[in-house]
Structure 1
Amino acid sequence: MQKDFSIDEHLEYPVENVENPVITSMSERDAKSVWHPFTQHYTAPYSIPVVKGQGAYLFDENGKRYIDAIASWWVNLHGHAHPYIAQKVAEQFLQLEQVIFAGFTHEPAICLAERLLDILPNNQAKIFYSDNGSTAVEVALKMAIQFFHNQGNTRKNKIIAFANGYHGDTFGTMAVGAKSAFNAPFEPFLYETLYLPVPTKGHETRALEAMQEYLQNADEIAAFVFEPLIQGAGGMVMYEPGVLNELIALAKAHGVLTIADEIMTGFGRTGKMFATDYIEHKPDIFCLSKGLTGGAMALGVTSSTQTIFEAFLSDDRRKTLFHSHSFTANPLACTAALASLDLLLLPETQAQIQMIHQSHQCFKEVLQEKYGKAIADVRIRGTILAIEIQTSEGTSYFSNIRDTAYNFFLEKGILMRPLGNVIYLLTPYCISEEDLQYIYTAIEEFLQHIQAK
C-alpha cells in the first residue's frame, strides 16, 4: 500500500555531512554542480537564485524583486505561478501524469490538438507532439524531407532559410540556422542550406530574386523554413508581411513545402494569434512551443496538412515518421497548454496585448525624439519592442554593450537579456502599465548613461 506523503516530511536540502560541509548560498551550490546554457562559466558571475515567481515578478533568495521583462526566455504569457494553470495541472497530476504515446492516447492530448486546429489556419489537419522548440522544427524538417522520400523522390533534400536565422540547437535546426559561433564546431556535420537575404526594409527585392534563383532547381529543394516577421535570437530583426507572402507563394508554386517557425511569435506575441495571420498564403507546416503552455512546462508541437500526413500512410512500415521521445504529449504539459489557451482567449488578456502594443508605440516616439543619435533603430511588432543601439561595430551578438546593459537593468530590478547591442521587451501579458513605465524610464536612463561616456 502506497504511503501518504506529507510535504512536511520531505528532506531539507542541503543535508548536513561532516565530510562535506554545507554550502548555504544557493549561488555557491549552483556553481559547484550546475552547467548553465549559453553561459561562459569562466567569466560569468554566479547565477541569481530565484525562489519565487508571481505575476510579472521574480524574487531571489534575498527578497529582491525583478520584473521579468523577457518572459523568462519568451515563454511566460500570463505571469509566473498562475493559480489557474497550477490548479489544472495539479488536478491532472492526480488523474494521469504520464503514459506512453505510441499505441495509447489521452484526453488532454486529444483536446489540445482539437483546440490548436481550431485556431491554426484551415489547411492544418494533424498535430504531432514533441518536447521543445528545437525538436518541433527538427520534426518539421524531417516531415518535409521524408514527405518526398516516401513518394520515391530522394533528390528533394535541400532547405531554403533566411540568413541570420535561429531555429534551435539540434543538428537539423543548427543546419538551417545562421552559421555563427553558436554552431561553428559542428559545421562539418551540418547539411547544406540555401540562404536568402533577410527581407528587411529596402532588401525585399534581393530576397525575392534570390528565391527565384534557388527555385530554378526546385527539384532539389524540399522546404523553405522561416521565422515569420521577426527573427528572435538574430536581434529581433523585423520585416513586413507582404514580402513573406510573396516568398511563400513562390515556394508553393514550385512544389516546395513551407515551414513557419512560430516558436517565439505564436500565441499573440505579434498582436495576432500567429504571425502568419498577417499573410494570405498559409504555410504547410507550423512549429509551436515557448508560450504554448504559458511557460509552465516544456512542450512542442508540429502541425501539418492532411496531404503531408497521407504521404506517411502505407503498408510499408518504413514510411512511418520515426520520431519520438519518452514524454511525447505528456498529459501534464498538454493540460498546462489547455489552461494557457483558456487564459489567452479571455477578453482581458486580449486587452492587455493591445495595451502593451500601444504603450510601446508611445515610447517609440519618445525614443526617436530624444535619443535619435544613440539609437540605430526602434522596431515594434505587437507586444515586442526592440531598440538597436548605435555602435561602431554595427549589429553584433557579442557587443560589449550587452553586459553593460544586462547589469544596469538587473541593478534596477529588471530582468532583460540584450541580444548584443539590441535591447528588447517581451513581457508577460499580465504586466501593468506602471511596470512598463518603470522599464521605459530605466531604458532612458541607460541611454543617457551610454551617451555620457
Structure 2
Amino acid sequence: MSVYFPTRSFQIYQTFAANTNLGKTLFSAGLLRAAATHKKVSKLFYLKPVQTGYPVDSDARFVDSFVNSKILNTRTLYSYEKPVSPHIATDKPPNDKDVLSRVKSYIAECQIQLGSNDEGKLILETAGGVNSPIMSGTLQCEFYRPLRLPTILIGDSKLGGISTTISSFEALHLRGYDIPAILLFHDTEYNNFQYLKEYFRKYDTCIHSISPPPPKNSAAEKDHENLRDYFSSTSQDFQAILKQLNEWHHLRFDRLESMEKKTMKKIWWPFTQHQRVKNVTIIDSAHDDFMITFNRNNDSEGAGQVQMKEMFDACASWWTQGLGHGSSKLSLAASYAAGRYGHVIFPECIHEPALDLAEKLLEGVGKGWATRVFYSDNGSTAIEVALKMALKTNLKRNNIKDEDAIKQATEKEFLIFGIEGSYHGDTIGAMDACGPNVYNEKVKWYKPRGYWFEAPTVYLKNGMYLVDIPKSIHPDHTNMTYSVPSFDLIFNQDQPIASDLVKIYEDHIGRILSSCIHSNKYQFGALILEPILMGAGGMKLVDPLFQRVLIDEVRKNKIPVIFDEVFTGLWRLGCRSGADLLGKKPDIATYAKLLTGGLIPLATTLTTESVFENFIGSEKTDALLHGHSYTAHPIGCSVARASLDEYEEFNKNSLHWNTAKSQWAYNENTSDGSNKEPIVWSFWDKEVVHHLSHLPKVKGVMTLGYASNASQAIVKELYSSFTSKNFGIYARPLGNVVYLMTSHITSPTNIRAVEEKLVECIKSSK
C-alpha cells in the first residue's frame, strides 16, 4: 500500500532554510550524492514543489547534474520565470489544497516505484526561508505542516545568522516539526556554528558545519568543475550527516514500533475494556481534522508490517476539536501566555487572559442573563461547581438557614431533577446527578440523587422527522409518534408542533413535580439538563418543546435551572449555545470541550448575580469553597479567548458555514424572494442525511444504551477504509449509535468523503 509518509525503508526529509541563498540545494545534492553510494539504496528522489527564476535557475537540474546517478529521479511541480518570492511570482496562484495534493501524489508515486522491500530516500526542498510565503500567501511552515516530514534546517553562518537560525527553528518547533539536523557552512569570522552547537545541545537535534563552496566562477564550465571538486572534498562530511540521519530515522521507528507493547503493560485507558483491545492506535501527530497514526498492517499484503495512516478524526477527539489539531493560532496564543505568565495564583488576583475571557463569555453565551464566571479545569468539575451553586441557591430561595438545612438533611434527602439517560461527568457528585447507567452503576459509592424524566426524542426516518413520545408521558399510556415535515418546525419557539402536545407535557410534568415536591422524604434543589442533545447518554435529540415546558414548570417551584453545555455549547449545534435553540435562559450553565478549540483543558461555570450573592457573608465558610491549583490557567484562558474569536468570525464570514446554512434553509421564501435562514443547520449534506434515513438498517437516532456493541462493526469498517487515495476514518462506538463529528473547520470535500464511506459501510454491514 502506497502512502505519502516515511516508512522504515523509505526515508523522507524536507529542507527548510533560515533565509534565502543559504545553500539548501547544495546540501540536498550533497546528501543525495552520499546516499547514491550506499548499495542498499535502490531509488533516490528529489522534489522541488515550487521553483522561481526558471529556467535560468533550476534546483532540480543542479541536483541532477551533481548527483549524476541513474537511481535519482527529480521533479519540479510549479515553476515561475520571475526570480522572486512565490507569492509575487504569479497573479494566478493555485489553491493550497491542489498544491499539497500534487506533493502527496508525487511522494506516493515514489513509494510505488520503490517497492515494498527496497530502500530509498526523498528530499523535498522548500523555497526561500521558513516563513517565506508560497503562491497563495500561506507561510511555508504552515503549508507543509500536514505532512510533518522530518526537517533539515539550513542555518545561516553570516552576521545575524544566529538570530535567524534560532527564530526559524522556533517557528518550526512551535508547529510540531521534528528537526533531526541543522546544517550550515563554516565561517571563521562569525563562528555561528560554535554558538548554535551549544544552544541546540538541549534539543534532539544534531548540528553540522561544512566548508563553504568556492566562489562562483563566471565561466560555466570552470564553475561546474569547481563544484564537482567541492562535492568530492566534502563527501565524508555528507556521509557523516547521512549516517546520523539514518540513526535518527531508525530510532524513531524503533520507538513507534515499541509503543504498542509498552502501552499494553503500562497504560490504563478511560472508558475502555482492556480485554477487548487487540490493536493500539499510535498517534504520531495530528493536524486539522486528521491524525497520523502508526499501526500494524493486518492486510494479506505486507502483513505484520507497520505503516503510517492518515485518519479522519470522526469523534473530534472526544468532541473537543473546534479549530482542528495543531492550530498555529492557538499555539501562538498558548506560547504568549506561557512566556508572559506560566501559571499564577488566582484567588484575590486577576490577569488579563482570565478577565478578557470572562468578558467575552458574558457578552456571548451569557448575554442577557449571566454576570459571573467561575473557572475550573474540566466539564465534570464545572458541574460539581454548578450543583453547589444551585443547591445553596435553592435553600436561600426557600429561606432555609444553614443550621436548618443540616437538620433537614437527616430528615429529607436533597435531590435534583434531570432527564433519564443523561450524563454529566465522572466525579462523584456529577455521577449522583444521573440515574443508574453504565458509567456509574458499578461504582459502589454511587447513590442516585434525583428524579429523571423520560423524555421524548426526535429522529429522522424515511425522510420524515418524528417525535417519539414514550408511553409514560401519554395519558393513555401508549407510545405516540408525531410526524413533522421540517426540522425547523421542531425548534420553532413561536409555533409548537402541536398544541395538544404542550398540554400533554404540562400535565405529565406537573403531576410528577407535585408528587415529588410535596413528598415528606425529599427536597429538590435543582433541574440539570443537556439542552437539546444528550451526548454520552447515546446522542439522543430531545424534543425541545418538552425541555421548554419542563423548565417553565420547574421554575414555578423556585428551583434553579442548570444547563450542562459542556458538549452542546459554543457553536456545537450551529449557534452559541443550546439555550439559544430552547429560547430559555438558565440560572447556571457550564462550558468546556470546545471552549479552548481542542488544545488545552479548561472549563467555566456561568451564573447570575442573584446566585453569586447567596455566597456573600461575613464568614469564609459562606463562600463557595471550591477550586484547584490551576484555576483560570493563563494559557487556557488565552487559548479560549482566541478560540471564541475564531468561532465568531466563522459565523460571520465563513463561506463554508454560509453554504451549509443555505442548503438547510426553509423552502418558504421571504418577502425579498430569498430563502429563510434555518433555525438549525448542519455541515452534513441534507440529501445524504435523508438518504441514510431511508436505509432499512438505520433506525434513526434512537439508542438502546451505551453498553450495546451494535455499532462496532461499522466503526471497524470505517477505520479500515484507508487506502493510498483515501483517508481512514477514526470513530468510536456509542452503543448502537454510530456518531460522526466534524470540527468547525472541516472542509466540504472531507465531509462528502466521510458521508460516502458511511453510506457504503452501512449498506454492506451485517
Q: TM-score, normalised by structure 1?
A: 0.87
Aligned to 2:533: 230
SS at match of 1:366: helix
1:326 aligns with 2:624: no
1:253-332 correspondence to structure 2 within 5 Å: 253-332=556-635
SS at match of 1:375: coil
Aligned to 1:17: none
Amino acid at match of 1:160: F
Amino acid at match of 1:352: H
Q: CA contact under 8 A between 1:168 and 1:177: conserved in structure 2?
A: no
1:390-409 correspondence to structure 2 within 5 Å: 395-409=704-718
**Structure 1 position 121, deviation (Å):** 3.4
Amino acid at match of 1:212: G
* CA distance in structure 1 between the aligned counterparts of 2:447 and 2:531, rounded to whole angstroms: 23
1:133-282 correspondence to structure 2 within 5 Å: 133-149=379-395, 152-153=400-401, 154=405, 157-186=414-443, 188-200=445-457, 201-203=467-469, 205=473, 208-216=506-514, 217-218=516-517, 220-282=523-585
Aligned to 1:385: none
**Structure 1 position 350, deviation (Å):** 5.1
Amino acid at match of 1:50: I
Q: CA contact under 8 A between 1:126 and 1:303: conserved in structure 2?
A: yes
* CA distance in structure 1 between the aligned counterparts of 2:292 and 2:200, rounded to whole angstroms: 22
SS at match of 1:89: helix
SS at match of 1:63: strand
Deviation digits for residues 220-244 of structure 1, max 9, x if unmatched? 2110000100111111110232221
Q: Which of 641, 653, 656 in structure 2 is aligned with 1:352? A: 656
Q: CA contact under 8 A between 2:422 and 2:534: conserved in structure 1?
A: yes
Change (3 A) 1:326 1:367: same
* CA distance in structure 2 between the aligned counterparts of 1:351 and 1:96, rounded to whole angstroms: 37
Deviation digits for residues 317-357 of structure 1, max 9, x if unmatched? 21111101111110001111011011111146754345551
Aligned to 1:57: 290
Q: Which of 693, 696, 699 in structure 2 is aligned with 1:368? A: 693
Change (3 A) 1:415 1:174: same
1:130 aligns with 2:376: yes
* CA distance in structure 2 between the aligned counterparts of 1:23 and 1:359, rounded to whole angstroms: 35
* CA distance in structure 2 between the aligned counterparts of 1:71 and 1:22, rounded to whole angstroms: 26
SS at match of 1:345: helix
Q: CA contact under 8 A between 1:31 and 1:46: conserved in structure 2?
A: no
* CA distance in structure 1 between the aligned counterparts of 2:330 and 2:512, rounded to whole angstroms: 46
Aligned to 1:40: 273
Change (3 A) 1:189 1:70: closer
Change (3 A) 1:161 1:362: same
Amino acid at match of 1:310: E
Aligned to 1:383: none
* CA distance in structure 1 between the aligned counterparts of 2:275 and 2:358, rounded to whole angstroms: 44
Identity %: 29
**Structure 1 position 445, deviation (Å):** 1.5
Aligned to 1:75: 320
* CA distance in structure 2 between the aligned counterparts of 1:187 and 1:210, rounded to whole angstroms: 33
Q: CA contact under 8 A between 2:438 and 2:707: conserved in structure 1?
A: no
* CA distance in structure 1 between the aligned counterparts of 2:691 and 2:279, rounded to whole angstroms: 36
Q: CA contact under 8 A between 1:352 and 1:429: conserved in structure 2?
A: no
Q: CA contact under 8 A between 1:172 and 1:190: conserved in structure 2?
A: no
* CA distance in structure 2 between the aligned counterparts of 1:307 and 1:193, rounded to whole angstroms: 24
Q: Bigger CA drift: 400-409 or 316-325? A: 400-409
* CA distance in structure 2 between the aligned counterparts of 1:335 and 1:89, rounded to whole angstroms: 6
Q: CA contact under 8 A between 1:140 and 1:285: conserved in structure 2?
A: yes
**Structure 1 position 274, deviation (Å):** 0.3
**Structure 1 position 250, deviation (Å):** 1.2
Deviation digits for residues 151-188 of structure 1, max 9, x if unmatched? 53525831001001111101111112231232112255
**Structure 1 position 261, deviation (Å):** 0.4
* CA distance in structure 2 between the aligned counterparts of 1:266 and 1:169, rounded to whole angstroms: 19
* CA distance in structure 2 between the aligned counterparts of 1:276 and 1:117, rounded to whole angstroms: 14
**Structure 1 position 362, deviation (Å):** 2.2
Q: CA contact under 8 A between 1:196 and 1:210: conserved in structure 2?
A: no
Q: Which of 23, 27, 34 in structure 1 is aligned with 2:260? A: 27
Q: Which of 86, 103, 125 in structure 1 is aligned with 2:348? A: 103
Aligned length: 425
SS at match of 1:352: helix
Q: TM-score, normalised by structure 2?
A: 0.53
Aligned to 2:745: 430
Extract unaligned runs of 5+ from structure 1. 13-20, 379-387, 389-393
Q: CA contact under 8 A between 2:319 and 2:593: conserved in structure 1?
A: yes
**Structure 1 position 424, deviation (Å):** 1.4
Amino acid at match of 2:392: Q
RMSD over equivalenced CA pairs, Å: 2.5
**Structure 1 position 47, deviation (Å):** 2.4
Change (3 A) 1:222 1:297: same
* CA distance in structure 1 between the aligned counterparts of 2:761 and 2:321, rounded to whole angstroms: 25
* CA distance in structure 1 between the aligned counterparts of 2:517 and 2:646, rounded to whole angstroms: 43
Q: CA contact under 8 A between 2:455 and 2:546: conserved in structure 1?
A: no
* CA distance in structure 1 between the aligned counterparts of 2:290 and 2:569, rounded to whole angstroms: 22
Change (3 A) 1:105 1:305: same
* CA distance in structure 2 between the aligned counterparts of 1:89 and 1:435, rounded to whole angstroms: 28
The one of the two structures with greater contact order (alpha-carbon pairs below 8 A, sep at least 6) is 1
Amino acid at match of 2:371: A
Extract unaligned runs of 5+ from structure 2. 1-195, 206-253, 295-306, 458-466, 475-504, 661-681, 722-727
* CA distance in structure 1 between the aligned counterparts of 2:567 and 2:357, rounded to whole angstroms: 19
Q: CA contact under 8 A between 2:421 and 2:537: conserved in structure 1?
A: yes
* CA distance in structure 1 between the aligned counterparts of 2:629 and 2:713, rounded to whole angstroms: 41
Change (3 A) 1:275 1:368: same
* CA distance in structure 1 between the aligned counterparts of 2:744 and 2:199, rounded to whole angstroms: 35
**Structure 1 position 209, deviation (Å):** 4.2
Amino acid at match of 2:656: Q
* CA distance in structure 2 between the aligned counterparts of 1:213 and 1:301, rounded to whole angstroms: 34
